């Protein structure tokens, strides 16, 4: 396949490059990737297969060109739910209610193993505390050293690592559900059949609060505290068997640690991969963290340390 003749589409934070292959009125998307091919092509399609098996909308595989570093998949067009929400401010809650219904369906997925297009079994791993801890540590590895150096950096890393472990040990829910792991409105597409799910290659079985935290405290779209509360309460209403106090505890912890991870990832994308466009989202990620740890006793130590070492002038800094 000659990629030079295809239209390149806007990409994401992965190593994948997307192209539209248009033949007459029909079109498909070519996903090209040379680096980390297994996760970006094989597992990417495997999770789509799991969604499809569970009667959810995800891109179907059209052609396996893995040997030549690509796969060809169904084309969902260019309109994301993010774009829809930007245009329909008055109907935001209406669309978020639909997303909550979709999230409930995703969390009911029991399929843990699927046959890949390479005819191998892929088993979805668990989202363990160790992985959550390593993800939160991305903040320490990629963001902290931009502002803290020398002996102070070593001491601060140790303190924050200890706090991260302590917070993770306070998680209440042991039962694991299917977690998309990057569940936000930019990864939901508008299709004729409903909301299509993309970018699920990182899926695992983990905490029930994780994807809701990803959706509500999404760094890519600014929503009011009032709307956040309404979306949260909609989820609780649809899942009334949950222990509200335990769930809220897990939601808050996972939201804070996830957005610290995101600040680390965006810093890494800039320094390592020369993708600087995500830096502008870091100040809002800080605001989301603040909104969860303010007036919340379990975050007291974290709040004190972060505010002492990353004051407002640093938090609003985009480089």
Both 92 and 227 in one domain: the answer is yes
Last residue of a domain, one of 74, 106, 128: 74
Does residue 113 surpass a pLDDT of 90? yes
Both 134 and 207 in one domain: the answer is yes
Percent of the chain exceeding pLDDT 90 equals: 88
Q: Which residues of 149-171 are buried (b: 16+ CB within 10 A; e: fewer)?
A: eeeeeeebbeebeebbeebbeeb
pLDDT classification of 13: cutoffs 50, 70, 90: low
Give pLDDT tens digits for 245-274. Answer: 999 999 999 999 999 999 999 999 999 989
Task: Quote the CA–CA distance of 212 and 203 in Å, as a whole number.
Answer: 14
Tell me what pLDDT residue 1 has: 65
Both 69 and 144 in one domain: the answer is no
pLDDT classification of 15: cutoffs 50, 70, 90: confident
Both 85 and 35 in one domain: the answer is no
Both 245 and 132 in one domain: the answer is yes
Q: How many domains does the chain have?
A: 2
Last residue of a domain, one of 42, 74, 106: 74
Tell me what pLDDT residue 319 has: 62
Both 152 and 169 in one domain: the answer is yes
Tokens representing 115 are 């046959």
Both 63 and 123 in one domain: the answer is no
Closest by alpha carbon to 21, among 88, 98, 73, 68? 73
Both 27 and 117 in one domain: the answer is no
Q: How far is CA 201 from CA 46, 58, 301, in A?
A: 8, 12, 34
Percent of the chain exceeding pLDDT 70 equals: 97
Q: Residue 235 maps to which CATH number?
A: 3.90.1200.10
Does residue 38 surpass a pLDDT of 70? yes
Tell me what pLDDT residue 23 has: 81
Give pLDDT tens digits for 178-221. Answer: 999 999 999 999 999 999 999 999 999 999 999 999 999 999 99
Tokens representing 61 are 């595989």
Both 202 and 251 in one domain: the answer is yes
Does residue 170 surpass a pLDDT of 80? yes
Last residue of a domain, one of 28, 49, 74: 74
Host domain of residue 54: 3-74
Q: Is residue 211 within 8 Å of 254, Cβ to Cβ?
A: no
Task: Quote the CA–CA distance of 184 and 216 in Å, as a whole number.
Answer: 8
Tokens representing 199 are 């970018």
Both 66 and 167 in one domain: the answer is no
Average pLDDT on 78-93 reads: 90
Both 25 and 172 in one domain: the answer is no
Average pLDDT on 262-289 reads: 95
**Residue entry with tokens 């600040």:** 263
Both 270 and 168 in one domain: the answer is yes
Q: Residue 46 maps to which CATH number?
A: 3.30.200
């Amino acid at each position: 396949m000659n990629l030079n003749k295809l239209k390149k589409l806007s990409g994401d934070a992965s190593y994948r490059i997307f192209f539209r292959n248009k033949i007459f009125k029909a079109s498909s998307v070519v996903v090209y990737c040379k680096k980390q091919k297994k996760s970006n092509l094989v597992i990417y399609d495997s999770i789509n297969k799991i969604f499809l098996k569970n009667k959810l909308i995800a891109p179907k595989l059209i052609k396996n060109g893995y040997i030549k570093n690509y796969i060809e998949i169904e084309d969902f067009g260019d309109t994301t739910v993010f774009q829809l929400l930007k245009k329909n401010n008055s109907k935001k809650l209406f669309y978020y209610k639909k997303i909550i219904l979709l999230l409930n369906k995703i969390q009911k997925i029991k399929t843990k193993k699927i046959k890949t297009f390479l005819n191998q079994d892929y088993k979805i791993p668990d989202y363990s505390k160790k992985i959550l801890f390593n993800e939160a540590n991305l903040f320490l590895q990629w963001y902290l050293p931009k502002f803290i150096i020398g002996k102070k950096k070593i001491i601060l890393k140790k303190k924050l690592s200890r706090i991260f472990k302590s917070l993770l040990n306070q998680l209440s829910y042991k039962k694991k559900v299917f977690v998309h792991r990057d569940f936000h409105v930019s990864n939901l597409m508008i299709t004729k059949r409903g909301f299509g799910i993309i970018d699920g290659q990182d899926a695992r079985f983990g905490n029930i609060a994780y994807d809701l935290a990803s959706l509500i405290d999404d760094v890519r779209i600014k929503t009011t505290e009032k709307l956040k509360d309404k979306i949260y309460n909609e989820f609780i209403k649809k899942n009334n068997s949950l222990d509200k106090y335990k769930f809220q505890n897990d939601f808050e912890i996972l939201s804070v640690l996830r957005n610290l991870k995101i600040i680390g990832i965006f810093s890494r994308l800039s320094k390592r991969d020369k993708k600087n466009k995500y830096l502008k989202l870091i100040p809002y990620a800080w605001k989301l963290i603040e909104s969860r740890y303010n007036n919340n006793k379990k975050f007291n130590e974290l709040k004190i340390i972060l505010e002492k070492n990353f004051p407002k002038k640093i938090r609003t800094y985009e480089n």
